[in-house]
Structure 1
Amino acid sequence: MHKAIITLTKGGLQLGLKLHGEMADSVLYVHRKFEIEGRGIQKIHGPMKEFVGEIFHQYQCLIFIMAAGIVVRTIAPHIQDKKWDPAVIVLDEKGKNVISLLSGHMGRANGYTLEIAQLLGANPVITTASDVNEKIAVDTLAMALDCSIENFRDATRVTAHIVNGERVGMISHIPVEVALPENMVLIDEEQAVQEKFAGLIYITEKRIDPKIAWDYVVLRPKNIILGIGCKRGKSKEEIMDAILDTLHALGVAEASIKHIATVDVKKDEPGLLEAAQALGVPLVSVAREALKAVEDEFEGSDFVRKSIGVGSVCEPAAFLTSSGGIWLQRKTIHNGITIAVLREGGNPYGNHCGRHQL
């Protein structure tokens, strides 16, 4: 369940039941005085602040049907950071207004607010400056493109330029199929130096060190797949050294790693598991039968074939767990560890972005 609907009054209960009936991924929490049962309906026990503290990070979205002041006082002790706080939405008992209160962008509260308002025929209340001015915030752009933000302070500065209507350039190595306001323009590296901008947005897996006077922010797409094979017993430190050396040589940022791919017999290899955990990415295993079906297309090893029944691991594992792309590095050996690096998508140095206006 992704959403929690919380209500304390009889009027709120009726609206809560309506929302709960329309939202299959919701749990409805009601005051313990109400004699009501049903699937996904639970009672609130104990003081409200303690209850909210218990569920605050259990759900992606908290929907309160009560006064906004009560909600503010209740959630205040539990707010930590917009990068992981849940969306918080407030509705009045009559369902006239739906208010995006917390985590409008990163938590998708603004999006949830619009969905609920449409569902109820209500008035959506959204106060974030970028939305009010029909602009796009950097964090919203990052979410739309499935990118991570390298530095949130940089993102705040560049978003301020966008909201203020100042000219912001965007250099992207992935397609950008998002509506952009008039003051955001897609450019190349040469324009970034020759023309004047209030801020720049880089969307790339490449490590960069721009020599510019403007504020800038870097967004990291998850488009790098590491195919890895290794001898049994390789430690996390050895595997991490091989990965980091490889990425450094290629000029690729760790934040753009989508996953590590390997053969099924290595899915429980401690060093690989620990390396994936350290990088915060999944370890994806591929069945040997699947690798055998394509191994003739890749460089193989008789020794590996005798050991595990298939002659090639790193390249076919990366290939089979991707949606297609280009090789940044073919099979390379690092002290008993083989690594191949595949970049999903097309030419990383072209500007593939289409221009869309609001």
Structure 2
Amino acid sequence: MKTAIVTLTAGGAALGRKLAEGFPQSDLFVHAKFLRDGNREKPIEGNFTVFIGEIFSKYTSLIFIMAAGIVVRSIAPYLRDKKTDPAVVVMDEKGTFAISLLSGHLGGANNLSREIADFLGATPVITTASDVNDRIAVDTLAMLHHCTIEDFKEATKITAHIVNGEEVGILSSIPITMPLPSNVSLLKAEDMHGVNIKGLIYITENEVQHLIPCDKVVLRPKNLIVGLGCRKGKEKDEILGVITEVFQQAGLSINSIKQLATVDVKKEESGMIEAAEALGVPLCIVSREEISKIEDQFAASSFVKETIGVGAVCEPAALISSKKGSVVIGKKACKGITIAVVKEGEEVYGNRCCRD
């Protein structure tokens, strides 16, 4: 996570230097007249609001050491929505308080405030209702389990039920790894008859069938890996079309795709690269050497074997790039494109061997 530390006074610059020691991935911006180290520190020159506009979207979090009023007025022109705005934390130059000002949950400002407080011995100031009442918010639940939220308005309704102490249920296809408040219960589909709840959170890669009349929100875990093979020259739209068709037939959500995977000889295939970019996921490259170790587990093509040295691509590529995954859709061929889908095991891990 790239962080900008922004200061305007001599005292703020001194605290900023100390803070930067604990956040090595940060850039320290200091008013030009207080600049000390031109190699490590960056000067703030010209109109401050214009300067903020230049850096606002370049960082995932911004720490301001100055009055909160200055920060509010300076960031106001650049605010979009909580799905994309960076985390904003405000500190006084004595380092007494670390105030979570913007994007507390999805942006991570609440956690950043706590981290700053732990490092400096400050007091974190967090005002989100779910946090101060020891509840959970739907966006926090989504963030901690690497899920996307399908409808933020519905998520707000469910969070309100939780904060107000009303009963909410969770139906999840993945393990829930965080403690839940007493009014939030893990449920099973077979136990839903007669359940009296105000809201229901679905966490699933599958098509959702609403089971009872109440407020609902759907979270999509990033737990599906799409293995791909294709003839040379296949375009992005063709590949996306096949993926969409296969997912619709299987009742799966494209929003649950974690990554695409293919064999190393296809690493420069522009259609695959562009399809991954369009989906906002990595394209993971698997070597033929790795595939050769498990290709006998899958139906092989003698033509493909003669052409690239291995007889199977989409299924082994997806399986190898997963963590303890299992095949949920075996190889399907359509219009010169082969596709398979693997679901991650419970031990989901970060992407290795991914094309940046």
TM-score, structure 1 length as denominator? 0.93
Structure 2 equivalent of residue 6 of structure 1: 6
Per-residue Cα deviation, 1:190-245 (whole angstroms, up to 9, x for no partner): 33342111100000000113143211111101111111111112232322222112
Does the alignment pair 1:252 with 2:242?
Answer: no
Report deviation, 1:329.
1.3
Structure 2 equivalent of residue 341 of structure 1: 341
Take 1:156 and 1:192, find their aligned partners in 2: how far apart are those partners?
Answer: 23
Check the 8 A contact 1:5/1:29 in 2, yes or no: yes
Take 1:117 and 1:188, find their aligned partners in 2: how far apart are those partners?
Answer: 40
Structure 2 equivalent of residue 167 of structure 1: 167
Report deviation, 1:338.
1.4
Structure 2 equivalent of residue 217 of structure 1: 217
Structure 2 equivalent of residue 185 of structure 1: 185
SS at match of 2:246: helix
Take 2:268 and 2:36, find their aligned partners in 1: how far apart are those partners?
Answer: 47
Moved over 6 A (4+): none
Structure 1 equivalent of residue 122 of structure 2: 122
Q: Which runs of 5+ in 1 are unaligned?
A: 347-358
After TM superposition, the structure 1 stretch with the greater mean CA deviation from structure 2, 18-27 or 270-279, is 270-279
Structure 1 equivalent of residue 81 of structure 2: 81
Report deviation, 1:256.
0.3
SS at match of 1:6: strand
After TM superposition, the structure 1 stretch with the greater mean CA deviation from structure 2, 89-98 or 37-46, is 37-46
The residue type equivalent to 2:256 in the other structure is S
Report deviation, 1:162.
0.5
Per-residue Cα deviation, 1:12-49 (whole angstroms, up to 9, x for no partner): 12111111122211111111112411542111011100
SS at match of 2:70: helix
Does the alignment pair 1:284 with 2:284?
Answer: yes
Per-residue Cα deviation, 1:176-195 (whole angstroms, up to 9, x for no partner): 11011000000112333421
Structure 1 equivalent of residue 354 of structure 2: none
- Tell me how large the CA RMSD over aligned residues is: 1.4
**What are the within-5 Å matches in structure 2 for residues 139-158 of structure 1?**
139-158=139-158
The residue type equivalent to 1:178 in the other structure is M
Take 1:206 and 1:66, find their aligned partners in 2: how far apart are those partners?
Answer: 47
Report deviation, 1:90.
0.7
SS at match of 2:75: helix
Structure 2 equivalent of residue 309 of structure 1: 309
TM-score, structure 2 length as denominator? 0.94
Structure 1 equivalent of residue 67 of structure 2: 67
Tell me which of the two structures has the higher relative contact order, counting C-alpha pairs closer than 8 angstroms and 6 or more residues apart: 1
Take 1:39 and 1:166, find their aligned partners in 2: how far apart are those partners?
Answer: 54
Per-residue Cα deviation, 1:104-134 (whole angstroms, up to 9, x for no partner): 0011000000111111111111000000100
Take 1:2 and 1:235, find their aligned partners in 2: how far apart are those partners?
Answer: 34
Take 1:56 and 1:184, find their aligned partners in 2: how far apart are those partners?
Answer: 36
Per-residue Cα deviation, 1:146-202 (whole angstroms, up to 9, x for no partner): 111111111111000000010000000101110110000001123334211110000
Cα separation, partners in 2 of 1:182 and 1:264, compared to 1, 3 Å: same
Per-residue Cα deviation, 1:73-119 (whole angstroms, up to 9, x for no partner): 11111111111111111111111111100000011000000111111
Does the alignment pair 1:202 with 2:202?
Answer: yes
Check the 8 A contact 2:61/2:86 in 1, yes or no: yes
Structure 2 equivalent of residue 236 of structure 1: 236
Check the 8 A contact 1:169/1:192 in 2, yes or no: no
After TM superposition, the structure 1 stretch with the greater mean CA deviation from structure 2, 227-236 or 246-255, is 227-236
Take 1:263 and 1:46, find their aligned partners in 2: how far apart are those partners?
Answer: 51
Take 1:175 and 1:40, find their aligned partners in 2: how far apart are those partners?
Answer: 43
SS at match of 2:294: helix
Take 1:85 and 1:27, find their aligned partners in 2: how far apart are those partners?
Answer: 18
Per-residue Cα deviation, 1:267-320 (whole angstroms, up to 9, x for no partner): 222222222222222211111122122212221111001111211101110111
Structure 2 equivalent of residue 356 of structure 1: none
After TM superposition, the structure 1 stretch with the greater mean CA deviation from structure 2, 138-147 or 189-198, is 189-198
